[in-house]
């Protein structure tokens, strides 16, 4: 069997750093997402890199530095509807293509991210 973590299967730190860079290049150009973010993406990129590393079974970088992720709580100060969740996922899909993630492992990771993105939705009113 294959005992590697998803983190190892996609190529570890190098791949994740590339994925996160490409992902936020799309986010900062997306009209439904860009207004939510600060002009400087340095900090959010770093935190997302740390989070995804541990999410995929790599070192617990995020929790070591910032404590429990409590992702939904940390997103409550931003209005996130299904439109934003879809937008986030479409940016991630493009980034995965461009970072060269393929096959079953890519589908598995995307499925988990889709659940997480929908879990962040905190408003259902007409926007």
Interface contacts to ligand HEM, rule CB under 6 A: 33, 36-38, 44, 47-48, 51, 66, 71, 74-75, 78, 80, 84-85, 88, 113, 116-117, 120
**Would you report the helix, strand and coil content of the chain in percent, each value rounded to 5?**
65, 0, 35
Q: Which is nearer to ligand HEM, 12 or 81 (CB)?
A: 81
CB of 1 vs ligand HEM, minimal distance in Å: 27
Q: Which is nearer to ligand HEM, 1 or 58 (CB)?
A: 58
The span from the CA of 22 to the CA of 108, in Å, is 20
Task: Tell me which long-range contacts 46-51 makes (C-beta under 8 A, separation of at least 24).
Answer: 48/20, 48/23, 48/24, 49/16, 49/17, 49/20
Q: Which is nearer to ligand HEM, 9 or 19 (CB)?
A: 19
Angle between helices 42-55 and 12-27 (to 10 degrees): 130
CB of 2 vs ligand HEM, minimal distance in Å: 23
CB of 103 vs ligand HEM, minimal distance in Å: 20
């Amino acid at each position: 069997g294959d005992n590697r973590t998803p983190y190892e299967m996609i190529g570890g730190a190098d791949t994740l750093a590339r994925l996160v860079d490409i992902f936020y290049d799309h986010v900062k150009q997306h009209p439904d997402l860009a207004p939510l973010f600060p002009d400087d993406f340095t900090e959010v990129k770093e935190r997302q890199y740390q989070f995804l590393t541990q999410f995929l079974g790599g070192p617990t970088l995020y929790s070591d530095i910032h404590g429990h992720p409590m992702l939904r709580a940390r997103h409550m100060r931003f209005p996130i509807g299904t439109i934003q969740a879809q937008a986030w996922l479409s940016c991630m899909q493009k980034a995965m293509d461009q970072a060269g993630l393929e096959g079953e492992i890519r589908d598995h990771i995307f499925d988990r991210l889709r659940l997480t993105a929908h879990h962040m939705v905190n408003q259902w009113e007409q926007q």
